[in-house]
Structure 1
């Protein structure tokens, strides 16, 4: 049966645009590429490769007829784009089309979603001239977010610790990074294979690519450090930073407005602030506002002549320690606690309740983020304790001056409230908090006489022993380059320097 003849659509199809871009308009150039793609399709389907006549191909290219049957699958294999989109219109405005990804690169992209269940990656444009997208779901504290993303094939220069995107991609990259929005580049390298045999992916913020490809800076290649390879460590960092940064940037004005009214609330020993008071605030925005109030409330109401000995956190999973690693105000709070504790008889510590079933249910990247937070606290001079009994997860967050006072300030998992704060001075109240801390000291599942010993015990409890052979090295690599060179923070409320220090600290543990 002859191919159906159609009325010429009156627009240039995406298929035509891709043929022009790749220099395949002539039958002689197209035939070989089509034959190779047909062999791959036939191998999957277990049949004989289909061929196409020159006259049929010319009708496809001119928009005069539509491929049918297996030919549609061959074209999808050849271009890596759904057939319906190939037959749709190419963009009217002048755009640079991205290069075609080979099968290894497409497989590496699909592997991302199978490896991390909070990820939905569409690394190429669904329609020419429209960017791809990466959707990242939140589990508890983090909001779901998305970021524009485009994948490019790159070559490995492992002697220089970089992979490089070549100049043939620069026209499209410059177009992709031009808008002032959050966007990521993914570089696919076939020579870099993981345990599953798929090509490696490397990530870079579009803002850094924009700087590197500035017209006044001629470059022969766009380098991405091999430290930025996408694995559980970089995924944990990337997801935490993107979700936090995007949410706080979106909430910037309401958070600024609410911050102006905190002083009146800080005058009170007891304060509860309902979520409905700030409708529409993101989960991360609520966490920032709640932690902002509770940290300042604690410093305001702690006795200036008493030395706090312990803090109690309700964080149990990686998402819930992201504020500790990223919020500027949390870094200030730890500094203030250490200053007040300087006159005490022993260094202060922070207790967590992380039951065994929570560990078992947490993805690897979540457990890595929790471990990084423990390492950061130890690096800062705080002893860390982890208890496993589930009943301790119900305790409010507090700062304790033993036998004298506890300042309670709960903002994490505070149900319908952004925060709930109080000052406990009655002996019976203080004794309850004292007993909780004594239990944490005596029964911590990460007991050890030094920071290194406690963190090595944390590796075992968090079930990170299977990645411990590589985790310190990966943290050292990422910390050496700095996450600030992989991702650019846009919100004024977070900073990446402390996270980088935690990565470098973990990197030194193996030694």
Structure 2
């Protein structure tokens, strides 16, 4: 610290001490300051109190020896790698990536913002330069970086490694980044498993597809992990609400809950409420969802309880005469305003539903976006359960059985089925129509193959799930299913 800066800070601290203790503020000369720095003299009397006030720690600790720790510094990134990091933020507006310069004990961070459902979050990140091994379909970080990587991945927090390859395989000069979860790197670099190179599959290249998965999983997983105890307590009290046909639960009832946590709790209640109150005399045919963007379909792809609900719905729908499916209302202006990675995530959710045997119908009329979410037993019953974009509520649930009510739900589903922008007699036909409506034609030539690559490797080493409420298995299944669409 320069003398001028120290003199100002010391004088201010001395005034605070004098005001608290009574008396006149003590001063310090330039010569005394430099003797303190050189260790030729030790502060005494009120000077000790002033220094404690200035630095916020006890005098004995302040004057004691500095802790002796071995700290590894990361390698210095070249200009191409730094440019690749900057391009991440210019490509995705919800990203702010801060890879660090070599500073002892300081890690980089990756801040990820949400569009609607997802809460803002951040993850520790460190970038290393890697070599492209195209023949083995991997990129690899060399042994020179292992000491720092081992230090970086040692803490039990969530963290990501970004491997930077100077030039992309497509010939571009901007370089490419590849993602690896720190937990997997920790296993690979364990002392009992010596490796020559830290290999990262080429399928983990950071592009629109992997950013969609990373952005969604990290934000949802972090939020649910932080909410875990609160959600467990709230779930224990659901039974009293499930006993009622009509139930509304205010958002303010659980003020500490994240947006993702509220979505999990709302979807959990509404799925259980539907299964509790569905009539036993008729088979349900249709699910009506309010999801419109990629973030809003993440619960379908990630939440374990949603996977269980879809399976149970299919079991109940098997005895009906109509093909079961889900209606989603996605107006054109919502599509045009959605980033590409959001539309990719939305498409993956459609593919997952089709893979599970549920037809998907996209309704484009904005007025249908105002409908509550419901499960329909045609001509007989609609169990309403709205949790997506429920404003001031975590959920709002009801059971409609009056003929006038049922007719309104029946007509809405009939319209959506007959006027869907994704008409088709097969899953492949409906999904190809969805590609066109969602504006994915520009990437479709390579997109199925890209999904197949990522699905074959699986996302488990790229991202480690930490919350008990989430699974990435269905994302992998959807990726492989989309990969198969390009083979015929």
TM-score normalised by the chain length of structure 1 = 0.82
Matched, 1:219 2:198: no
Residue number among 333, 340, 344 corresponding to 2:320 in the alignment: 344
Write the distance in 2 (CA, Å) between the matches of 1:336 and 1:264.
22
Could you tell me how far 1:192 is from its partner in structure 2? 2.4
Which residue is 1:158 aligned to? 134
Could you tell me how far 1:128 is from its partner in structure 2? 2.8
Matched, 1:326 2:302: yes
Q: How many pairs are equivalent?
A: 425
Distance 1:96 1:377, change over 3 A: same
Secondary structure of 1:303's partner?
A: coil
Superposition pairs of residues 71-86 of structure 1, within 5 angstroms:
none
Which residue is 1:128 aligned to? 104
Residue number among 400, 404, 409 corresponding to 1:428 in the alignment: 404
Which residue is 2:205 aligned to? 229
Distance 1:505 1:430, change over 3 A: same
Which residue is 1:146 aligned to? 122
Could you tell me how far 1:510 is from its partner in structure 2? 0.9
Matched, 1:366 2:323: no
Write the distance in 1 (CA, Å) between the matches of 2:177 and 2:364.
37
Could you tell me how far 1:194 is from its partner in structure 2? 5.2
Write the distance in 2 (CA, Å) between the matches of 1:226 and 1:447.
36
Write the distance in 2 (CA, Å) between the matches of 1:452 and 1:222.
39
Whether the aligned pair in 2 keeps the contact of 1:194 and 1:200 (CA below 8 Å) is no
Whether the aligned pair in 1 keeps the contact of 2:75 and 2:102 (CA below 8 Å) is no
Which residue is 1:479 aligned to? 455
Matched, 1:114 2:55: no
Distance 1:424 1:198, change over 3 A: same
Could you tell me how far 1:345 is from its partner in structure 2? 1.1
Could you tell me how far 1:190 is from its partner in structure 2? 1.2
Whether the aligned pair in 2 keeps the contact of 1:447 and 1:453 (CA below 8 Å) is yes
Write the distance in 1 (CA, Å) between the matches of 2:447 and 2:223.
29
Whether the aligned pair in 1 keeps the contact of 2:166 and 2:173 (CA below 8 Å) is no
Write the distance in 2 (CA, Å) between the matches of 1:339 and 1:433.
22
Aligned-residue Cα RMSD (Å) equals: 1.5
Secondary structure of 2:384's partner?
A: strand
Which residue is 1:104 aligned to? 80
Secondary structure of 1:483's partner?
A: coil
Could you tell me how far 1:94 is from its partner in structure 2? 2.0
Which residue is 1:505 aligned to? 481
Whether the aligned pair in 2 keeps the contact of 1:155 and 1:191 (CA below 8 Å) is no
Consecutive unaligned residues of structure 2, counting only runs of 5 or more, are 4-65
Q: Could you list the structure 1 runs, at least 4 aligned residues long, displaced by more than 3 angstroms after superposition.
A: 90-93, 193-196
Distance 1:164 1:264, change over 3 A: same
Which residue is 2:465 aligned to? 489
Which residue is 2:54 aligned to? none
Which residue is 1:171 aligned to? 147
Distance 1:303 1:125, change over 3 A: farther
Whether the aligned pair in 2 keeps the contact of 1:398 and 1:410 (CA below 8 Å) is yes
Distance 1:106 1:430, change over 3 A: same
Superposition pairs of residues 3-152 of structure 1, within 5 angstroms:
93-125=69-101, 127-152=103-128
Consecutive unaligned residues of structure 1, counting only runs of 5 or more, are 1-5, 8-89
Superposition pairs of residues 242-261 of structure 1, within 5 angstroms:
242-261=218-237
